[in-house]
Amino acid sequence: MRAIGRVLWLPFAFLLAAAVAVYVVISLGQERIVQAVTGRGPDDVTLTAGFDLLRLGYAFLSINTLLPALLLVIIGEVARIRSSLYYVVGGGAALAIVPLMSRLAQPLTVLDLSPVVWQVLATAGFAGGFVYWLLAGRNA
């Protein structure tokens, strides 16, 4: 009976963690765009960084964005990894890989993205990984 409950709980926890990550991307991205438009905020924020975030937001709509995080969760569950560090750092890395995954068939020009974009993606991945660890990962 416990295994059936676990099988039902894992997808729910994964979707909730993904929703938190999307929320962080939207809220931090919106903050960075507003800072760029008004000319206030960190010294490196430019309007092109905001457009980079919007372009990547469109790429988030593909299924490729879930693959790195899903792989992270499957490895963590099979290996019974209970470490919060694994899920937090892995979540950040999984979401930071998304720009690379979105350009698989194109030339590798990902490094021209603003550091603000990488910062927003990594922060959202950290938040999503932490939420998954809180809900399901610590009981792997």
Q: What is the DSSP letter of 111?
A: G
Phi, psi angle pair for 136, to nearest 5°: -135, -30
pLDDT in the model for residue 25: 81
Q: How far is CA 34 from CA 11, 51, 53, in A?
A: 34, 11, 12
- Over residues 113-134, the pLDDT tens digits come to 677 778 888 898 999 999 999 9
Q: In Å, what is the CA distance from 113 to each residue of 45, 47, 51, 118?
A: 12, 12, 10, 8
Amino acid letter, residue 6? R
What percent of the chain shows pLDDT beyond 90?
Answer: 11
The pLDDT, as a whole number, for residue 50 is: 64
| Rounded Cα distance, 20 and 25, in Å | 9
User: Which pLDDT tens digit goes with each residue over 2-41?
Assistant: 778 778 888 898 889 888 988 888 888 777 766 666 666 5
Q: Which two tokens stand for residue 109?
A: 């020009």
**Number of structural domains the chain divides into:** 1
pTM above the 0.85 mark? no
Which position has the higher pLDDT, 96 or 56? 96
The rounded distance, in Å, linking the Cα atoms of 51 and 75 is 34
In this predicted structure, the answer to whether residue 80 has a pLDDT above a threshold of 90 is no
Structural domain span for residue 11? 2-139
